Amino acid sequence: MAGYNPEFPIPLPWNTSRWSGASSSGSGVVTAAGLCYGSLGSDTGGSIRFPAAACGTVGIKPTWGRVSRYGVLALAESMDHIGPMTRSAADAAIMLQVLAGHDPNDPTSLTAPVPDLMDGLNDGIRGVRIGVDERYITEGVDAVVSEGVLVGIRVLEGLGAQMVSVQMPDTREFLAAWGVLCQAETAAAHQETYPSPADEYGPWFRGWLERGAAVTGVDYANANKQRLACNGLLKQAFDDLDVLVCPSMTTTASPVKPAELYGPMGEDDWTWGQFTIPFDFNGAPTVSLPCGLDSDGLPLSIQFVGHHLSEQLLCRMGHAFESATTWRDLHPDI
């Protein structure tokens, strides 16, 4: 989760004092360091995209249900997504090809056939309709992050993609609903082991479970109503698009503060999820890729969001973007 268990060290890839993406951060670090071909991330509020962005790797959050959740320790089952984290879009396509598909052990896994994700990988993106909302990209976002995305948009335009001006809904008013839903579903997932051995949990996650146990049925219903409203607004915004482009995070990797990461939960603040939570709400597929470095040498990241089951297009988008840039070749000096 956002906090770590005090019994384990915090993995740090690019800078020994900077955040590596919270959940799935171990996966992000070992992939960035070249210790493995690729790794798995689990994304419920951003935990494929955050470590991919913080560690300078590629992360695909597939359509919800595209990859089976069987065998995965649940956080919030209605929003848990499993996907690959690699050092290139082509590698991510190869891993996702193996992972994706119906699994009878998971009744929520999708039965839709999985196309050959490597087919057409080199076909380019000429004519692809990409939605751009400069306000959405810049409002509440660090300037260096926004600039990295805007530079990336110019790359896409140079590759022949068609930029479409869109007006994204302000989804920030819906972010708090994620906390209610996620905390309640986490409490349900851990009901066999909490609260009986509560002291075996780290203090941060123990606080998360406590808040989840306090959610009422009315609270959950109202939060779900907010989720549905957010999904409806996003669907309208996507009607004339193939892909939306936006940041993966609102900031670059923040300073690590062990007292906070190992300590109890603080006050709820969901602003970090501006570009992640809405696409866990609606289960849309996304891919995050490196798009530069900031003045401190930390990775910047760009995110492409597609329609449900459009992973083949997202892999092609990512590969085309990488082929026109050198950012995927940047690695931590370790």
* Amino acid, res. 89: A
The predicted-structure confidence for 129-144, as pLDDT tens digits, reads as follows 999 999 999 999 999 9
Beta strands 162-165 and 129-132 are: parallel
The predicted-structure confidence for 79-100, as pLDDT tens digits, reads as follows 999 999 999 999 999 999 999 9
Phi, psi of 143, deg, nearest 5:
-60, -40
The residue with tokens 């992360």 is 59
Domain 25-329 belongs in CATH node 3.40.50.970: no
The pLDDT-based confidence of 267 (bands split at 50, 70, 90) is: confident
Count how many residues are written for the chain. Answer: 334
* CB-CB contact of 236 with 230 (8 Å): no
Beta strands 162-165 and 286-293 are: unpaired
Structure token digits, residue 96: 């996702």
3-class SS at 44? coil
Does the predicted model carry a pTM greater than 0.75? yes
pLDDT above 90 (res 42): yes
> Cα–Cα distance between 42 and 297 in angstroms, integer?
26
Q: Find out whether the peptide bond into 195 is cis, omega within 30 degrees of 0.
A: yes
pLDDT of residue 231: 98
Of all helices (H) and strands (E), which one includes residue 81?
Answer: strand 81-86
The predicted-structure confidence for 140-173, as pLDDT tens digits, reads as follows 999 999 999 999 999 999 999 999 999 999 999 9
Beta strands 129-132 and 243-247 are: parallel
